[in-house]
Amino acid sequence: MRVLFLGDVVGRSGRKAVLDNLPQLKLNLRPDFIIVNGENAAGGFGITPTICDELFNAGVDAITTGNHAWDQRDIIEYIDQEPRLLRPANYPITSPGNGAGLFQATNGRLVLVINVMLRLFMDPLDDPFASVEKILGDIPLGANADFIFIDMHGEATSEKMAFGHHFDGRVSAIVGTHTHVPTADTMVLPTGTAYQTDAGMCGDYDSVIGMKKEAPIDRFVLKMPGPRLDAAGGEATICGSFIVSDDRTGLATSIEPIRLGGLLSQTTPLV
């Protein structure tokens, strides 16, 4: 299996970069399945049905979210009707939508996508470890799913690494989102799970995590409330991960980072 994951899409420039570059990424990497985190796609705050449809029409197979899942109110009814849009699995059971979905890839194999939000420096939600344990108990790798991907949306690198090691060997890949900064630790863990602490964002890096610089700088310097944050609009860097797995086991054979366009140093997988 060949799976492409793109990190948090931030604002119009991030959306444009993803939509403009997906055709070439698909041509070069030949992914069987594409996942995008879209929770900041609408001006940096949430995602709309229209944006979801644009991404799906461009070839995205599943969209994950996080703590900004409900920022756009019209997404609440949409998510109940669109199983390809996920919210964190450890949200309250009464929340609309689903935290996991089983999908068919272009090669006919079954991909389980799990969206979960971690808790350190984040909202107090249900235990993410227990939430994923329950899902894996129902849909284990190799029995009911050929590839299992987890988007762990969280702040603390320690919690993310603990989460990765805890589920090593039981899922194909675990990649973090939320901090909008790509980490340099793409690796296959000891028992076969591809891992990266954070994929980074698809957005303008001449910014403060995707937002125009002035307002967040003033908040830190002056320690006073400021104007509403606005997404930066310069050229975006597409950040993500490309994972290849062994079809016999569902475990990863490789994971490589993607940084394409914009200000960051460039890297794309050699395939």
Which residue ranges form the domains of the chain, and what is each CATH number?
2-204+233-260 (3.60.21.10)
Write down the pLDDT at residue 226: 81
* Chain segment 83-117, per-residue pLDDT in tens: 999 999 999 999 999 999 999 999 999 999 999 99
Write down the pLDDT at residue 270: 80
How high is the mean pLDDT of the chain? 96
Write down the pLDDT at residue 227: 85
pLDDT band at 179 (very low <50, low <70, confident <90, very high): very high
128 pLDDT more than 80:
yes
Write down the pLDDT at residue 225: 84
Mean pLDDT for the stretch of residues 7-29: 97
255 pLDDT more than 90:
yes
Q: What residues are labeled active site? A: 68
pLDDT band at 230 (very low <50, low <70, confident <90, very high): very high
Mean pLDDT for the stretch of residues 119-130: 95
Write down the pLDDT at residue 91: 97
174 pLDDT more than 80:
yes
Mind giving me the DSSP string for the chain?
-EEEEE--BBHHHHHHHHHHHHHHHHHHH--SEEEEE-TBTTTTS---HHHHHHHHHTT--EEE--TTTTSSTTHHHHHHH-TTBB--TTS-TTSSSBSEEEEE-TTS-EEEEEEEE--TTS---S-HHHHHHHHHHHS-BTTTBSEEEEEEE-S-HHHHHHHHHHTTTTSSEEEEESS-S--S--EE-TTS-EEES----BB-SSSBTTB-SHHHHHHHHH-S--SPP-B--SPPBEEEEEEEE-TTT--EEEEEEEEESSSSPPB----
pTM assigned to the model:
0.96
* Chain segment 189-217, per-residue pLDDT in tens: 999 999 999 999 999 999 999 999 999 99
271 pLDDT more than 80:
no
228 pLDDT more than 90:
no
Mean pLDDT for the stretch of residues 249-268: 97
41 pLDDT more than 80:
yes
Mean pLDDT for the stretch of residues 72-89: 97
What share of the chain has pLDDT > 90, as a percent? Answer: 97
